[in-house]
Structure 1
Amino acid sequence: METLADALQARSCAYRLLAFFMALPTRDVADSVLAGSLRADVEEIADGANFDPEEARRVTEALDAENSFWQLDAEEALRALRLDYTMLFTNPEGAVVSPYEACFKGSDDFDSSGLTFISPTALDAERVYRQLGIKPSGHSNESADHMGVETEFLDLVYEQLAGAVDDSGDEERQRLATILEDFDRGHFLKWGAAFFSRVQNAAQTPVYRALGCLGVALAASERDVFAGCLAPCA
């Protein structure tokens, strides 16, 4: 029987997976995908994260869809993944979707400081990260409002929440849930669903299409999760 701690740990793993693929894929990543590791991870997450059944189905079916990608060798798969990543996030001629929260939204909700070179959105994200006592590393020292950094933070806070549910008692659980709510309301829920929906619709490989579906499913269930964690234990 799945427990709350199991569901929280599954969400931690899901956000870790998203953060991992927000960096340029390597040959090891391509080898792992072709060996079936991503499929196994996605299926386990979909079973354990308490997604709506329809959302869970979309995630797994995105990987199961007929696609020539699955007939590629490792080098060809790596090229396809890197091309998809670049087209989606970093194409200097116009990426499909900006991986930076402030740029994606087209405005900065926290822009009252007059700062020119430092995003107030990124500064506010760092404020929440400090509440958890960590500094997500991201990849290549990205800005704090990069989706790779934001999903890494969500991985870490869910991992700590899962431990708190089992071991730390009601006070620590509610402290962590309050941090999660602060970050979700101030950041992830403002752009996460739209960001991953664009990834899902624009991706050329089943890998990034499935990751887009996974992000949409996580965003859709996020409010219910932190609300449940804020409720006192019976």
Structure 2
Amino acid sequence: MIEDATLDYLVARRFGYLLFQRLFGTEPSDELFDAIDEDVATRAFGFVDVEGTTAAYGRELLDLAQAENRDLAARLSDYTRLFVGPAALPAPPWESVYLEGKRMVMQPSTLDIRNAYRAHGFLPALYPRVPDDHLALELDFLASLAAEACDAYDRGDEGRMRDALEASGDFIADHPLKWIDAFACDLEEKGGSDFYACAAKALASFMAADVRRLEAACG
């Protein structure tokens, strides 16, 4: 069995990427926030990030998601302003905007991501209406790979589990990890939303910790 590839860790990864995908990929709603189990989320962050950095951001994020701290109308307005438009977005959620040095989408890095998706039989639900390098689609892909690793673990298929974990680590390191810090910085400095700035910082910390664990497990 791969070192550190415990079921708790695998399930925590799947939970984390699915949670962040929903936060950045769907409009905020009471149903979305009410479905976040604080205890489960706290344990998931801890299993992935044993050093605890993600947990600190996670506690702030979970507190902001609680009903008593939630202004849904303002949260929805923030989501539209930050990620939909029609005005210029202060923190565009596309990888190519950050990696290609241009405030443009559908750059060469987008094709690289599309090829990674195809290699694993992943077709985004919003394809082709949304560019492949949208943060929510990258997170959806990582959630899919995390689910594949969990399924392989349940079947006792170590080879398939290793393949899914290695693909996850390579994709994170080659794609979202290269721009998520800049995206989080833009949200914090220009976004005007404590919730989404905190979510981005928590995600950046979660992915960095996950890559460290995957490198230790699969290296």
Q: TM-score higher than 0.5 here?
A: yes
Q: Does 1:105 align with 2:79?
A: no
Where structure 2 has 5 or more consecutive residues not aligned to the other structure, the ranges are none
Partner in structure 1 of residue 46 of structure 2: 47
CA contact (8 A) 2:81 2:87 kept: no
Q: What SS does structure 2 have at the residue aligned with 1:97?
A: coil
Give the TM-score, by structure 1 length: 0.75
Q: How far apart are the structure 2 equivalents of 1:19 and 1:118?
A: 21
Please list the CA deviations of residues 54-74 of structure 1 after superposition, one character each: whole Å capped at 9, or x if unmatched: 331222134436x998366xx
Q: Does 1:158 align with 2:146?
A: yes
State the Cα distance separating 1:191 from its structure 2 match: 1.1
The 1:41/1:82 distance shift into structure 2, 3 A limit, reads farther
Partner in structure 2 of residue 142 of structure 1: 130
Partner in structure 2 of residue 11 of structure 1: 13
- Matched pairs, number: 215
Q: How far apart are the structure 2 equivalents of 1:64 and 1:49?
A: 20
Partner in structure 1 of residue 216 of structure 2: 228
Where structure 1 has 5 or more consecutive residues not aligned to the other structure, the ranges are 109-115
The 1:45/1:197 distance shift into structure 2, 3 A limit, reads farther
CA contact (8 A) 1:25 1:78 kept: no
State the Cα distance separating 1:130 from its structure 2 match: 1.7
State the Cα distance separating 1:189 from its structure 2 match: 1.7
Please list the CA deviations of residues 29-62 of structure 1 after superposition, one character each: whole Å capped at 9, or x if unmatched: 22442x4736455324223333421331222134
State the Cα distance separating 1:159 from its structure 2 match: 1.5
Partner in structure 2 of residue 92 of structure 1: 86
State the Cα distance separating 1:154 from its structure 2 match: 0.6
The 1:130/1:161 distance shift into structure 2, 3 A limit, reads same
Q: How far apart are the structure 2 equivalents of 1:209 and 1:42?
A: 18
CA contact (8 A) 1:157 1:180 kept: yes
Any runs of at least 4 consecutive aligned residues in structure 1 with deviations exceeding 6 A, and if so which? none
Partner in structure 2 of residue 30 of structure 1: 30
Q: Does 1:78 align with 2:72?
A: yes
State the Cα distance separating 1:207 from its structure 2 match: 3.8
Partner in structure 2 of residue 113 of structure 1: none
Structure possessing the higher radius of gyration over alpha carbons: 1
CA contact (8 A) 2:16 2:44 kept: yes
Give the TM-score, by structure 2 length: 0.79
Q: How far apart are the structure 1 equivalents of 2:105 and 2:6?
A: 42
Q: What SS does structure 2 have at the residue aligned with 1:171?
A: helix
Q: What SS does structure 1 have at the residue aligned with 2:125?
A: coil
CA contact (8 A) 1:138 1:152 kept: no
CA contact (8 A) 2:132 2:138 kept: yes
Moved more, 83-92 or 120-129: 83-92
1:114-133 matches, within 5 Å, as 118-133=106-121
* Identical counterparts, % of pairs: 20
Give the alignment's Cα RMSD to 1 decimal: 3.2
1:50-69 matches, within 5 Å, as 50-64=49-63
The 1:62/1:201 distance shift into structure 2, 3 A limit, reads farther
Partner in structure 2 of residue 178 of structure 1: 166
Partner in structure 1 of residue 187 of structure 2: 199
The 1:127/1:171 distance shift into structure 2, 3 A limit, reads same
State the Cα distance separating 1:201 from its structure 2 match: 5.5
